[in-house]
Chain A
Amino acid sequence: MQWEAVIGLEVHAQLATRSKIFSGASTTFGAEPNSQACAVDLAMPGMLPVLNEGAVRMAALFGLAVNAEIAHRSVFDRKNYFYPDLPKGYQISQMYHPIVGPGIVTIEPDDSEPRPIRIHHAHLEEDAGKSLHEDFQGMTGIDLNRAGTPLLEIVSEPDMRSAVEAVAYLRKIHALVTYLGISDGDMSQGSMRCDCNVSIRPVGQTTLGTRTEIKNVNSFRFVEKAINSEIERQIELIEDGGTVLQETRLYDADNNETRPMRSKEFANDYRYFPDPDLLPVVIDDHYIEAIRATLPELPDAKKERFISQHGLSEYDARLLVQNRQTADYFEQVSSRCGDPKLAANWVMGELSRLLNQEELPLERSPVSADQLGQLLQRIQDNTISGKIAKQVFEAMWQEGADADQIIEQQGLKQVSDSGAIETLVDQVLAEQQAMVEDYHSEPVEKKKKKKFNALVGQVMKASAGKANPAQVNSILQQKL
């Protein structure tokens, strides 16, 4: 039987506010344990939550970016459960009246047509603290610094049909939140996490199969692997005559499989109800329009502009806009050197290669966009060849110096003095008489060209790569 997967994602993005969603405690990552957990976060008796305007604004900004309706009235609810990293005994969330209504994003999985993915809604909630299960005198350690950090939970419709599409969707959400500056999107620090709802059904069937939920997947690669292994598991299970249980599972990266979470004694019963400590959040059109005015250029619009304004290919443009830093870096290089295609090739080529090799994020690149732009200028004004430029780039990378300094220091300036090139050509012709004879006696045009190129190579070698190749070509042609 042919199976089709049906996938929906719940993405939790930590919002980049300075203070927590309901308290004035700092949200800085990596502080001393519990140094950022105030009386509200600790659920001391009598403490009351006060909503952070920054969190409301960021949620609304996201909603506007996905063409969703922003609720003029939204309500916070209590989600009740007991766990030590949740001191109140409930999480404040939005169950019935979320701040962001239905929206839509377009994904472009590799090599396939763009596809719209519907967003069911997005709501604000608070994060929990962290439990450290290493042995502390036989007890569990609790760090509540993260408790109360604002989260935007973005819930998709089950519109994705493969792990590749799910990853493309997650990348799109990641690009959006980082472009908007509402989250740093750093999955390794848990700033963005994802729950994957997965079910399968025979191709052609319209009703949904029973789904499982894979909790807390924290990298793009793991999302793809976790979903694929879960799809495989469900197909095998059903084909062997079994049935899929609706349950929560965890992805075990070491064994590349999903495992059921230890089932609680009773099914979850969160007993949601409106939080009486918080009044309905009412925002007006004026507020929403003021936020709309701050929307930056978003990835889709930027991609179209890169194609129309810079003449880039669809493929190049798509790669460059995947994150805002890369897009900004590219534009700076391009405006400095005046050749967008050359800039794109270098940003996605040499620059990415060295960044990957040293596992550096773009922000920490030793070569700035301005410096790279200057290097490319030197290719364009024939100071150096493209080949020498790579050598200069590596030296810039190592030494942090400007292109001109390296070119000067290492004497890499291209030789364009025709007298000097002529001398080199004469020298090579004298030394390589056999090659010259070979060239003259070659009747086949194609082979003759090859032999000519070999002589060009000799001259270039004699110049240590610095001779202007076009000039070498024409002078050699004359001499022969």
Chain B
Amino acid sequence: MAISREDIENAAILARIHLDDDAKTGLEKDLSNILQLVDQLQSADTDNVTAMAHPLDAVQRLRPDEVTETVQRERYQQLAAKTQDGLYLVPRVVE
């Protein structure tokens, strides 16, 4: 399966990344190659194979409903670009 230029532009918007024309051309080729590899994998006959979520057949471990975290706001907020009154500040978003 080949990927179109529109597919790439759409994916770039969804991923919030800017691509210039050269990058788009390169990606068209690279992503098409990847999809061809996927096609090849898809062609394997897996009718009698059960889907696997984990190689060791493990299942989700559950955690007891207990509060185990302490308040570390000051530490976390040192990493933020901007904070005020305990809030993380981000470029204005309008609904």
Contacts and interface: CB of A to CB of B under 8 A. Distances in A.
Contacts of B95: 133, 261-262
Interface in A116-170: 131-133, 136-144
Contacts of B61: 50-51, 279
A182 to B, nearest CB: 12
Contacts of A82: 16
A132 B87 contact: yes
B53 A143 contact: no
A140 B85 CA distance: 12
Nearest to B14: A269
A274 interface: yes
A56 B60 CA distance: 11
A35 B73 contact: yes
A262 B65 CA distance: 39
Interface in A235-274: 261-262, 265-266, 269, 271, 274
A50 B65 CA distance: 11
A281 B61 CA distance: 8
A51 B89 contact: no
Contacts, number: 129
A25 to B, nearest CB: 4
Given A25-B69, A262-B95, A280 B87 contact: no
A141 B67 contact: no
B76 A34 contact: yes
A101 to B, nearest CB: 19
B59 interface: yes
Given A24-B63, A52-B65, A279-B54, A34 B93 contact: no
A17 B66 CA distance: 9
Interface in A25-61: 25-26, 32-39, 42, 44, 50-56
Contacts of A385: none
A354 B62 CA distance: 46
Nearest to B71: A35
B25 interface: no
B62 A56 contact: yes
B26 interface: no
B18 interface: no
Given A18-B66, A25-B69, A141-B89, A279 B60 contact: yes
Contacts of B88: 34, 84, 141-142, 144
A326 interface: no
Given A17-B65, A280-B53, A133 B87 contact: no
A36 B73 CA distance: 8
B14 A280 contact: no
Contact of A278 (B16, B60, B82, B87): B60
Contacts of A141: 84-85, 87-89
Given A262-B95, A279-B59, A35 B14 contact: no
The 10 closest A-B pairs by CB, nearest first: A54-B65, A24-B68, A141-B87, A33-B86, A53-B62, A282-B59, A38-B69, A139-B89, A279-B60, A142-B88
26 contacts: A18-B65, A18-B66, A26-B67, A34-B77, A39-B72, A50-B61, A51-B61, A51-B62, A51-B63, A75-B53, A84-B88, A84-B90, A132-B87, A136-B84, A136-B85, A137-B84, A137-B89, A140-B89, A144-B88, A266-B14, A269-B10, A278-B60, A279-B54, A279-B60, A279-B61, A282-B60
Given A19-B65, A266-B10, 14 more contacts: A19-B68, A24-B66, A24-B67, A33-B87, A51-B63, A53-B62, A54-B64, A133-B93, A137-B89, A139-B92, A141-B87, A144-B88, A265-B13, A280-B53
Interface of B: 10, 13-14, 16, 53-54, 58-69, 71-73, 76-77, 82, 84-95
